């Protein structure tokens, strides 16, 4: 029991701090010495380096054992991007599950390289791309349309960020300048009043303060209008209206986007903010392409419901009532922005009240209602408008690459397995379980079960 506990302790330390946290073997060695386990364990850096390599081999063996191809071709939402270390890293993620399908180094990021590597990864897993979300890089757009033969959706986050770069920074700069000038003017007025330095000078300074205060209020009103329009952009790109809860089409979403962008362009003109790089024009051009995701999702929903042979009344209840409640519940849960979260929470409350009051909800067996709610929860994960999962993964790898002064390619492969099979969401599921639709053995328990020996401590020479 004691030796097995020691193996668990050592494996947990290396797994959490060495592999997932990027801590080096020297720091691990020092930690084990502080815990005073060096008498039971070879805790030198060289011994730990061998043990870390062995645990990495066990993790890669786990992948070979449990990463299997789907028995039937399944549809996936593909997110793709690249990041840069010593070499280019190409990353492809299934967005609804968070499963990393590809994370490999490459010599370049041309279309041909993307097609070879991404196509091979999808074929290996038995996956067909339903649509792809990425930035507007030419190679990625071509990968979707020609390589994967699926629609390409421009990343909504990138489009929103173009608006932020055009207006957000400029409003912040103008307000900072005015607030500093206002603070200086008030300090100057205080000095003049203390010295009683001429009534005319004091009046002039008070007029300057009044003018700066008016300018500050004017800018704050503009900034508030900008924030409201930016939030409206986010509230628009959904299958359901945030205000009325009615289902939306791509055409309706595109028109709403163009209307909000027109308000932003007018705001830019009102406050003399030049869009020298035509950022708003780029977003306006991408609007119809971004909105396409709504119709794609509704088509997928209809195809998923077709095998059930529902009556028109039951289908309307599932699509308009159950799906709306699940959609806004999921959106409210994963949104961090306070104003948006409040809007999504209010939409969810209205959708939930409508669901509970519907005759079919009260008339069906509770188990049947829960079954459709579970299906709706699965279906709303298929609506993906950003490739944030890819961006987040690139951020994690970049941080580790910086702190470790480079990540070995073998460690990247290990971290991919850890991400897919070892990280759990709040519901306890891993990306692999969501992707394959079936449970997998616990990765850490697999490691512990496959480590039978630990490095031996140094034998001390007995002194006479």
Query: What is the structure's pLDDT at 464?
Result: 45
Query: What is the structure's pLDDT at 71?
Result: 64
Query: What is the structure's pLDDT at 77?
Result: 95
* Location of structure tokens 């209602």: 369
Query: What is the structure's pLDDT at 408?
Result: 79
* Location of structure tokens 């027109």: 262
Mean pLDDT of the chain: 90
What is the per-residue burial (b if ≥16 Cβ within 10 Å, else e) of 340-368? beebbbebbebbeeebeebebbeebeeee
CA 122/CA 417 separation, integer angstroms = 16
Comparing 4 with 358, the larger pLDDT belongs to 358
The ranges assigned to domains in the chain are 2-67, 156-298, 309-385
Q: If you average pLDDT over residues 335-363, what whole number do you get?
A: 93
pLDDT in tens, 394-440: 777 777 777 666 677 888 899 999 999 999 988 889 999 999 888 88
Tokens (6 digits) for 283: 């977003």
> Cα dihedral angle (337, 342, 344, 346), rounded to 10 degrees?
180
What letter does residue 455 receive in the DSSP assignment?
P
pLDDT in tens, 368-382: 999 999 999 999 999
SS3 306: helix
Query: What is the structure's pLDDT at 72?
Result: 66
* Location of structure tokens 């409003």: 171
Q: If you average pLDDT over residues 358-369, what whole number do you get?
A: 94
Tokens (6 digits) for 400: 């580790």
Helices 338-357 and 323-334 pack at an angle, to 10 degrees, of: 160
pLDDT in tens, 44-73: 999 999 999 999 999 999 999 888 766 667
What is the C-alpha R_g of the chain?
A: 28
């Amino acid at each position: 029991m004691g030796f097995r506990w020691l193996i668990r302790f050592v494996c947990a330390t290396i797994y959490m701090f060495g592999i997932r946290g990027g801590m080096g073997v020297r720091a691990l060695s020092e930690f084990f010495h502080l815990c005073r386990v060096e008498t039971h364990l070879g805790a030198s850096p060289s011994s730990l380096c061998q043990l870390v390599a062995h645990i990495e081999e066990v993790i890669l063996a786990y992948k070979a054992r449990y990463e299997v191809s789907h028995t039937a071709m399944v549809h996936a939402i593909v997110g793709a991007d690249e990041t840069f270390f010593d070499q280019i890293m190409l990353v492809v993620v299934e967005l609804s599950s968070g499963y990393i399908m590809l994370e490999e180094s490459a010599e370049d990021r041309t279309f041909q390289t993307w097609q070879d590597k991404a196509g091979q990864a999808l074929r290996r897993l038995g996956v067909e791309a339903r649509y792809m979300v990425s930035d507007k890089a030419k190679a990625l757009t071509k990968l979707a349309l020609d390589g994967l033969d699926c629609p390409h959706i421009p990343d909504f986050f990138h489009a929103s960020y173009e608006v932020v770069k055009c207006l957000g920074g400029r409003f912040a700069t103008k307000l900072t300048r005015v607030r500093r000038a206002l603070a200086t003017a008030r300090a100057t007025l205080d000095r003049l009043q203390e010295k009683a330095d001429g009534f005319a000078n004091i009046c002039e300074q008070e007029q300057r303060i009044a003018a700066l205060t008016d300018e500050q209020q004017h800018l704050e009103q503009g900034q508030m209008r900008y924030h409201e329009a930016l939030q409206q952009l986010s509230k628009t790109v959904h299958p359901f209206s945030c205000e009325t809860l009615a289902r939306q089409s791509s055409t309706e979403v595109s028109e709403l986007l163009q209307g909000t962008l027109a308000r932003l362009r007018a705001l830019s003109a009102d406050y003399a903010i030049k869009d020298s790089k035509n950022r708003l024009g780029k977003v306006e051009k991408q609007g119809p392409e971004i909105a396409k995701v709504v119709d794609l999702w509704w088509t997928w929903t209809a195809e998923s419901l077709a095998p059930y042979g529902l009556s028109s009344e039951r289908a309307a209840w599932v699509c308009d009532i159950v799906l709306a409640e699940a959609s806004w519940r999921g959106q409210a849960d994963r949104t961090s922005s306070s104003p948006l979260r409040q809007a999504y929470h209010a939409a969810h409350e209205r959708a939930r009240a409508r669901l509970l009051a519907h005759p079919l909800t009260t008339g069906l067996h509770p188990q049947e209602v829960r079954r459709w709610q579970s299906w709706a929860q699965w279906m709303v994960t298929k609506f993906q408008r950003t490739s944030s999962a890819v961006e987040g993964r690139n951020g994690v790898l970049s941080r580790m690459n910086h702190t470790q002064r480079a990540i070995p390619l073998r460690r990247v492969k290990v971290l991919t397995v850890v991400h897919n099979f070892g990280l759990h969401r709040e519901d306890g599921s891993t990306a692999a379980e969501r992707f394959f639709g079936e449970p997998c053995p616990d990765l850490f328990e697999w490691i512990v079960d496959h480590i039978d020996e630990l490095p031996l401590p140094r034998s001390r020479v007995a002194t006479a």
